[in-house]
């Protein structure tokens, strides 16, 4: 049966083993069907709660808009995100008005992280988006990222400047040494993108805890050099 | 309010901002409560399906027991696990009778991966377990691993031998160069343990696909040098 795809010749196996493999195949199909049913049921629960969350997040966005530099403050208090933001980027992120994490409606295919900016002296975009596609179901389906191309104003390209001075303040995130804007505009495989996961699963569900992060904690982490 | 923990002095903020922060706090509590409810509902679905899966996996174990070296074959056909198994470990894993992934009943606190061995010339244990504890709820709760100490028979310690010959066939797994038994007995932080995740989420749900993996695919991956 599997011979057509160049696999193991099942018909050459001893009878008792090929019988066991047939039984295993039936058993595995039952398990697969049950796993599929479990995934569908969990997805329905997640979709239900995403709909319930939507008006609450809408309300939150309006409240956050009344707090100057809410997101930048939360970012610079976060132990993993703070070290990615260098001094020039910090000035630029003062124009960040809102962040939104928007899961795809099917949930499993990925999510978008949207950064909404005021008019600013750095670039013409009002929205920078990192659109993360995660593979599901078919094996040909590859993880991918689409990022908004930043339309820098003349002489303001922070990423170009960065190429000339590779050192950044603070510790580098994990093994990488990408800055926040480098991360935001970086394509490639999002499978191990811990910053995207932190923003989606840690920052977005409760940014207020980071906005209010006590300074003592920051000192303990060695991040209070500013 | 947050002042007691050394945090930002909320009372020093402009009135309109401290009012916005109060509203944000209420809004955030609503979101937290909804997220908590979502987690509980998803957990219940997962627990329900774990109970439904149990008899199917029990049945599968009995069928697999009739197939010699089922797990070793599946492991050596798996693109990430195969390169971790060197020649001596492959001989040792011929005595592996069963693998079981056992999620903790609460699911979120972790899982055990159990390897059940026949009597063998390498060690006295009949079961080697990697017990993975993942943090949840309290921040003091740290990820941790407990692994069975291998009771090697005299002169058979494969890990001791390994210290003297650091090179292994095949490509190293990710940035690490741990062998399968080094991984199995390794403690430390399990947060990024991709091998544990592969065994739990990829191998355990459907090992038959790897047992039957067609040789052409292995050749394409450059793993057919044996
Ligand atoms: Ca959406
Ligand atoms: Ca259990
Ligand atoms: Mg704001
Ligand atoms: Mg067996």
Which pLDDT score is estimated for A189?
A: 76
Task: Decide: B84 and B179 in contact? Cβ < 8 Å.
Answer: yes
Task: Decide: B107 and B43 in contact? Cβ < 8 Å.
Answer: yes
Residue A83's SS3 state is helix
Helix (H) or strand (E) holding B26: helix B15-64
Residues of B in contact with A201 (CB under 8 A): none
Residues in B 46-105 with any Cβ partner in A closer than 8 A:
46, 49, 52-53, 56-57, 59-60, 63-64, 66-68
Cβ-proximal residues to A168 (8 Å cutoff; 6+ apart), any chain: A83, A84, A86, A177, A179
Q: What are the residues whose beta carbon lies below 5 Å from ligand 2 (ion)? A: B 102
Calculate what percentage of chain A has a pLDDT beyond 70: 81
Chain A's closest residue to B206, CA to CA, is A28
Calculate what percentage of chain A has a pLDDT beyond 90: 66
Q: Cα of B131 to ligand 2 centre, how many Å? A: 12
Q: Which ligand is nearest to the CA of B109?
A: 2
Which pLDDT score is estimated for B52?
A: 95
pLDDT digits (tens, 9 = 90+) for B204-224: 999 999 999 764 444 444 444
Tens of pLDDT along chain B (226 residues)? 444 444 455 667 899 999 999 999 999 999 999 999 999 999 999 999 999 999 999 999 999 999 999 999 999 999 999 999 999 999 999 999 999 999 988 888 899 999 999 999 999 999 999 999 987 766 677 888 999 999 999 999 999 866 555 444 443 334 457 899 999 998 777 877 889 999 999 999 999 999 997 644 444 444 444 3
Its sign, for the CA torsion B141, B142, B148, B154, is: negative
- Put simply, whether B16 touches A (Cβ < 8 Å) is yes
A212 and B64 within 8 Å at the Cβ level: the answer is no
Read off the pLDDT of each residue in A137-145 and give the average, rounded to a whole number: 77
Which pLDDT score is estimated for A1?
A: 41
pLDDT digits (tens, 9 = 90+) for A79-108: 999 999 999 999 999 999 999 999 988 878
B208 and A20 within 8 Å at the Cβ level: the answer is no
- At residue A222 the predicted structure's pLDDT band, cuts being 50, 70 and 90, is very low
Q: Is the pLDDT of residue A160 over 70?
A: yes
Q: What angle do CA A37, A42, A46 make, to 5 degrees?
A: 150
Q: Is the pLDDT of residue A217 over 50?
A: no
Q: What angle do CA A97, A98, A100 make, to 5 degrees?
A: 165
Which pLDDT score is estimated for B8?
A: 53
CA distance A17 to chain B (A): 6
Q: What angle do CA A33, A39, A43 make, to 5 degrees?
A: 145
Helix (H) or strand (E) holding A147: strand A144-147
- Put simply, whether B29 touches A (Cβ < 8 Å) is no
In this complex, the residue of B21, B34, B42 whose CB is nearest that of residue A67 is: B21
Which pLDDT score is estimated for B108?
A: 81
Of B95, B89, B119, B114, the C-alpha closest to B180 is B89
Residues of A in contact with B206 (CB under 8 A): 28, 31-32
ipTM above 0.95, yes or no: no
């Amino acid at each position: 049966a599997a011979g057509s795809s160049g696999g193991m010749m099942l018909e050459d196996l001893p009878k008792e083993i090929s019988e066991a493999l047939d039984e295993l195949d039936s058993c595995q199909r039952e398990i697969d069907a049950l796993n599929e049913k479990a995934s569908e049921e969990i997805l329905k629960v997640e979709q239900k709660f995403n709909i319930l969350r939507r008006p609450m997040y809408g309300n939150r966005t309006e409240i956050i808009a009344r707090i100057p530099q809410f997101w930048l403050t939360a970012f610079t208090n976060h132990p993993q995100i703070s070290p990615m933001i260098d001094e020039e980027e910090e000035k630029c992120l003062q124009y960040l008005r809102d962040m939104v994490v928007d899961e795809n409606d099917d949930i499993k295919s990925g999510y978008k992280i949207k950064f909404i900016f005021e008019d600013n002296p750095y670039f013409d975009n009002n929205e920078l988006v990192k659109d993360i596609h995660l593979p599901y179901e078919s094996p040909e389906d590859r993880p991918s990222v689409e990022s908004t191309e930043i339309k820098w104003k003349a002489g303001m390209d922070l990423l170009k400047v960065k190429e000339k001075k590779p050192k950044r303040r603070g510790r580098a995130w994990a093994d990488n040494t990408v800055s926040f804007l480098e991360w935001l505009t970086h394509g490639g495989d999002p499978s191990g993108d811990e910053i995207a996961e932190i923003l989606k699963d840690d920052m977005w569900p409760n940014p207020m805890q980071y906005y209010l992060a006590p300074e003592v904690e920051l000192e303990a982490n060695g991040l209070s050099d500013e």
